[in-house]
Amino acid sequence: MEDVTTLTKIQLDALREVGNIGSGNAASALAQFLNRKIDMAVPTATILDFKDIPTILGGPSTLVMGIFLKVLGEISGRFLLLIPAQTSIKLLRTLIPGCEIDDPLNMGEMESSCMREVGNILAGAFLNALSALTQTPMLNSLPSMTYDMAGAMIDNVIAEMTAVSDKVLMIETSFIESEEDLKIHIFLLPEPKSLMLLLHKIGVN
Amino acid sequence: MSVVIPVGMGELKVARSPETLVVYGIGSCIIVSLYDTKSKVGGIAHIMLPDSSGIAKERLNPNKFADTAIPALYDAIKGESGVFKANLHAKIIGGSEMFPPTEDYENNIGRDNTAAVKIALKKMGFPLIAEDTGGKRGRSIEFVLESGLIMLSILGEEPREL
């Protein structure tokens, strides 16, 4: 399948459930990691015009922390975590004893490495759940991280997926830490060519 | 008051003085501007990918690809009054790699886009008079058609003119 616009409502519902299972596991991993209660928003699976993606992320010039990984295996895709500046500061201060960082622009090697590890753990937990669900091994590439404009990150992530179609399938969820407004957005973009296999593996054709 | 016109991914826009074309959050995409110094007409193509070969014609959005967007930009600009091919020059901005590959077999879209627009510009015979490409940071630009100057902003750096 190269054109995601032909997905039916049932197929989209199934993909939303994939998002639910993956993010549920990632949320528990994050809760354990931070030793806090984490709430999860109901995931969505939507077909979007790529032109609208920067707006969904808060506008093309909104500054965010982005952690990107490729999903490798028979079912492949891209995994992007977007973390607002305030949340990344809170995460760093929680995870690194004595950390007093106040602007992600001032991150050093220790902080960058810590954020990449957050990405690794969340992506790993998400993909493990998916792997168990589909009985298909899934691996992730090493995480790559940057703090910059959301619009600029999206270019890199979706460019190759939009060669044929202007539409992109995006499974999205966010985590909210109950008291402190800790927000993390997870985007999974399955490669169009592995979508059929993914749907087949979860019993939806 | 000057009118500000945003140019999104895969879009192509033409404007003239006193208008300003703006692009926010350029990553691996590459911006090609053409400007006619005499008539103060200019245009921007916000290109996403290097090469359209292999894409079926009826599905092709020519504005997305370097090889097809530059001819399309020229087609859009040449109809404007006062524009002559000999007065047009080009600038290119973007082509960064926001998430540097962690595995060496991965391709670098930003670099491929930059190389592809240079070839396409050469083919069309447009002189490339300025460029700010590559690196790992996002860029935003304002293309002021009154002066033909492009104001470039990069996070953590002083804005500069191209």
Q: Do A66 and B137 touch (CB under 8 A)?
A: no
> Mean pLDDT highest for which of A96-100, A131-135, B111-115?
B111-115
Per residue in A29-63, pLDDT (tens digit) is 888 888 888 887 877 878 788 888 888 777 888 89
Q: Which domains does chain A carry?
A: 4-200 (3.40.1550.10)
- pLDDT value at residue A44: 80
- pLDDT value at residue B104: 59
Distance CA A164, CA A154 (A): 17
- pLDDT value at residue B105: 58
- pLDDT above 60: residue A195: yes
- pLDDT value at residue A11: 86
Q: Do B98 and A148 touch (CB under 8 A)?
A: yes
- pLDDT value at residue B106: 64
The domain at B4-161 falls in which architecture? 2-Layer Sandwich (3.30)
How does the average pLDDT of chain A come out, rounded? Answer: 84
- pLDDT value at residue A178: 64
Searching chain A, which residue's CA lies closest to the CA of residue B136? A146
- How many CA atoms lie within 13 Å of A6's alpha carbon, on the beta-carbon side? 8
Distance CA B66, CA B71 (A): 9
Q: Do A155 and B28 touch (CB under 8 A)?
A: yes
Bond preceding residue B18 cis, omega within 30 of 0: yes
pLDDT one digit per residue (tens) for chain B, 162 residues: 579 999 999 999 999 999 999 999 999 999 999 999 999 999 999 999 999 988 877 778 899 999 999 999 999 999 998 999 999 999 999 999 998 776 655 678 899 999 999 999 999 999 999 999 999 999 999 999 999 999 999 998 999 999
Distance CA A107, CA A168 (A): 32
Supply the DSSP string of A32-91, one letter for each residue.
Answer: HHHTS-EEEPPPEEEEEEGGGHHHHTT-TT-EEEEEEEEEESSS-EEEEEEEEHHHHHHH
Q: Are B33 and B43 in contact (CB under 8 A)?
A: yes
Higher pLDDT, A2 or B36: B36
- pLDDT value at residue B103: 64
CA distances from B103 to A14, A77, A111, A124, B107 (A): 32, 15, 22, 17, 9
Distance CA A161, CA A154 (A): 11
Task: Tally A–B CB contacts below 8 A.
Answer: 106
State ipTM: 0.86
Q: Which residues of A touch B55 (CB under 8 A)?
A: 163-164
B70-94: buried (b, 16+ CB within 10 Å) or exposed (e) per residue? bebbbebbbeeeebeeeebbbbbbb
Distance CA A152, CA A131 (A): 30
Q: Where are the domains of chain B?
A: 4-161
Searching chain A, which residue's CA lies closest to the CA of residue B140? A61
DSSP SS3 for B53: coil
